[in-house]
Amino acid sequence: MSIESNQETLGFQTEVRQLLDLMIHSLYSNKEIFLREMISNASDAADKLRFLALQDASLYEDEPDLRIRVEFDREQRTISVIDNGIGMSREEVIDHLGTIAKSGTSQFLASLTGDQARDSSLIGQFGVGFYSAFIVASKVEVTTRRAGAKREQGVRWISSGESDYSVATIDRPRRGTRVTLHLREGEDDFLDGWRLRSILHKYSDHISLPIVMDSEEKEKKGEETVNRATALWTRPRKEISEAEYQEFYKHVAHEAEDALAYSHNRVEGKVEYTSLLFIPARAPFDLWDRERRRGVKLYVRRIFIMDDAEQLLPPYLRFVRGIVDSADLPLNISREILQQDRTIDTIRSGCARKVVEMLVDMAEKEPEKYARFWKEFGRVMKEGVIDAPDKRAEIARLFRFSSTGTEGDAQTLSLQEYAGRLATDQKFIYYLTADNLAAARSSPHLEALRARNIEVLLLTDPVDEWVVMHLAEFEGLPLRSVAKGDLELGTEAETGAAPPSGEQNALIQRLRDALGDQVKDVRSSRRLTTSACCLVMEEQELSRHLQRILESTGQKVPQQKPVLEVNLSHALLGRVEQEPDPERFRKWAQLLFDQALLSEGGQLPDPAGFVQRLNALLLAAPR
């Protein structure tokens, strides 16, 4: 019997309590995954020990062979997972099994939807696997001792998964961790050697440590290894089944759903490494955080070195999951060294190339799958025009957009398709940036192009502003905003025939005087057919949409004034022209400006003033 001391009862962090409640009452239709999570933690613990032991071999104590043992006891109705990995100190037990230290926990909890399949996949991603023990257990007992600590520094943790847990210091001669699950009523199916073996095969064959159980056969007393126990990526590609790859993916990515695609490569040459990279089917909840470490694990000669080695892929590919194992890196490599390591540069560009190849292939051969990918990760991929200037042309071929020629809100049009169906004499790729598709589709800026059947890309992701800035052209066709500059449409003859911007026009002059310094200029428009007016910027200036994005993020934006373009053949302009009263004319001018602002999705600086002016003018109209 162990001597217990210093026992205390502590409350779970609120987030843990919420999570436990979800686990027990609504999640995981697939109960058996608790075993996968326990094994995964045991395997991580072995990885950590192996890594630390590189510096300090004494951590192995007298047990250098790392392994995991699974036991069950029909009488006691328990299942135990035992490892001789790194173990935990008392503080670590309290930190890791009583709180969720990860940032974004409440954001995570808020993103749960109640849809079991989706939520269990999110739970997996969030890495809260330990608590899954309570899906099948009414009480969980953990005993552990940190490698290198004294035997009196063992810890016992017990909880029934409600609001609290107890911890006590115990005597524990061996290092590592034992997790014992006291099964709930009705979960006795799990107390079966074959059942447990089959679950272990299903989920844990690729774990590179041996998982042992007592032999089931009477004559063969003793232990046997029940998993394959080789690192999956070291096996030849043709011997690995699709199911094994997908299972491995779920393990490394903490995912419940299959990956969309994967690529397994052994690279020989200047730098030798193996990469196994997966493209997930769904975006994680924290995809938008560019600072978040990426999900590729680094191994050196099969020894786990670090999780989320952000140096292994550029930020725009941060959705990729998998592993890289290289023989050419030192075992004691740190994040700092990684940043300047030449070998890593080679690996990074090799991995990025593989991912892009995978996507090109998917886009070509499995367009529907690619559409799913684009919906989840398109906005991140677009960051590639900034992150990877050397690959811009190649990545741009993977982009998909909405346009005046596409239906619905899915982004389905590629630039190569756009370029393949240009109108006669079209010299540019035209685009419009807007806050949303509805606003884009009804924008006055599109009118003249619609009239000439010229397709316009409708760009509504904030990142699109940066895409058009950095891309500038695609296969020889410059990108052109339809909301900037003087649109030169069609042939030179047509352009020449357009009205001189009406500088001499008396109405235009009166509008300029009335609007004063709200506008840079007032011009007669070539782009409007049915609307009365719109705002445009000069070619080299920031777009109005980008100004709004920057302002909304609190950035100082250089004050650039728009040009008000008016459609002189519109009846409203005819009405305005006939206004003799200077005060009322000013109201009309302001109304034109305000409606141009509203129609591009802008905010009126003085909405109440707008309403008053509008009403005054409506009431002044003849009945």
Are 296 and 351 in contact by the 8 Å Cβ rule? The answer is: yes
The two structure tokens encoding residue 607:
């909405």
What is the pairing mode between strands 78-83 and 533-536?
Answer: unpaired
Q: Which is nearer to Mg ion, 41 or 78 (CB)?
A: 41
Map the footprint of Mg ion across residues 286-325, applying CB under 5 A. Answer: none
Enumerate binding residues for ligand ADP (CB under 6 A).
37, 41-42, 44-45, 83, 85-88, 96-97, 127-130, 177
The two structure tokens encoding residue 575:
């009405």
What 8-state DSSP symbol labels residue 137? E
Q: Which is nearer to ligand ADP, 28 or 593 (CB)?
A: 28
Q: Which is nearer to Mg ion, 33 or 434 (CB)?
A: 33
Count of residues in contact with Mg ion, rule CB under 5 A: 3
Q: Which is nearer to ligand ADP, 170 or 454 (CB)?
A: 170
Q: Which is nearer to ligand ADP, 229 or 568 (CB)?
A: 229
41 forms part of the interface with Mg ion (CB under 5 A)? yes
Q: Please enumerate, as own/partner, the contacts of 90-97 that have beta carbons within 8 Å and a separation of 24 or more.
A: 90/153, 90/155, 90/167, 90/169, 92/146, 93/142, 93/144, 93/155, 93/157, 93/167, 94/10, 94/167, 96/130, 97/130, 97/142, 97/157, 97/159, 97/165
Q: Which of 124, 129, 280, 378 binds Mg ion (CB under 5 A)?
A: 129
Q: Which is nearer to ligand ADP, 41 or 406 (CB)?
A: 41
Q: How far apart (Å, rounded) are the C-alpha atoms in residues 566 and 515? A: 13
Q: What are phi and psi of 61, to 5 degrees?
A: 50, -130
Residue 284 near which of ligand ADP, Mg ion, none (CB within 5-8 Å, type-dependent): none
CB of 286 to ligand ADP, least distance (A): 14
Residue 205 near which of Mg ion, ligand ADP, none (CB within 5-8 Å, type-dependent): none
CB of 149 to ligand ADP, least distance (A): 13
Map the footprint of Mg ion across residues 497-526, applying CB under 5 A. Answer: none
Angle separating helix axes 367-381 and 342-365, nearest 10 degrees: 140
Q: How far apart (Å, rounded) are the C-alpha atoms in residues 66 and 251? A: 19
Are 313 and 348 in contact by the 8 Å Cβ rule? The answer is: yes
- Pick the piece of the chain touching Mg ion (CB under 5 A) from 38-46, 274-282, 348-356, 552-560: 38-46
- Pick the piece of the chain touching Mg ion (CB under 5 A) from 121-129, 152-160, 213-221, 601-609: 121-129
The two structure tokens encoding residue 94:
């309290």
Residue 33 near which of Mg ion, ligand ADP, none (CB within 5-8 Å, type-dependent): none
Q: Which is nearer to Mg ion, 123 or 528 (CB)?
A: 123
Q: Which is nearer to ligand ADP, 161 or 384 (CB)?
A: 161
Are 158 and 180 in contact by the 8 Å Cβ rule? The answer is: no
CB of 37 to ligand ADP, least distance (A): 6
CB of 94 to Mg ion, least distance (A): 17
DSSP string, 321-359: EEEEEESSS-TT--HHHHHH-HHHHHHHHHHHHHHHHHH
Are 264 and 289 in contact by the 8 Å Cβ rule? The answer is: no
CB of 445 to ligand ADP, least distance (A): 49
Residue 140 near which of Mg ion, ligand ADP, none (CB within 5-8 Å, type-dependent): none
CB of 558 to ligand ADP, least distance (A): 46
CB of 102 to ligand ADP, least distance (A): 8
CB of 214 to ligand ADP, least distance (A): 20
CB of 87 to ligand ADP, least distance (A): 6
Q: DSSP H helical segments within 54-174, as ranges? A: 90-98, 105-110, 116-126, 133-136
- Pick the piece of the chain touching Mg ion (CB under 5 A) from 40-48, 315-323, 421-429, 504-512: 40-48
DSSP string, 415-463: HHHHHHTPPTT--SEEEEE-SSHHHHHT-GGGHHHHHTT--EEEE-STT
C-alpha closest to that of 596 among 556, 553, 566: 566
Per DSSP, which regions of 220-292 are E strands?
223-225, 261-267, 273-279
CB of 36 to Mg ion, least distance (A): 9
- Pick the piece of the chain touching Mg ion (CB under 5 A) from 33-41, 99-107, 190-198, 478-486: 33-41
Contacts of 515 (CB under 8 A, 6+ apart): 522, 564, 589, 590, 593
Contacts of 468 (CB under 8 A, 6+ apart): 431, 433, 459, 479, 481
85 forms part of the interface with Mg ion (CB under 5 A)? no
For residue 594, give the 3-state DSSP assignment: helix
Residue 21 near which of Mg ion, ligand ADP, none (CB within 5-8 Å, type-dependent): none
Q: Which is nearer to Mg ion, 33 or 338 (CB)?
A: 33
CB of 41 to Mg ion, least distance (A): 4
Q: Which is nearer to ligand ADP, 43 or 433 (CB)?
A: 43
Q: How far apart (Å, rounded) are the C-alpha atoms in residues 620 and 348? A: 69
Q: Which residues form the interface with Mg ion (CB under 5 A)?
A: 40-41, 129
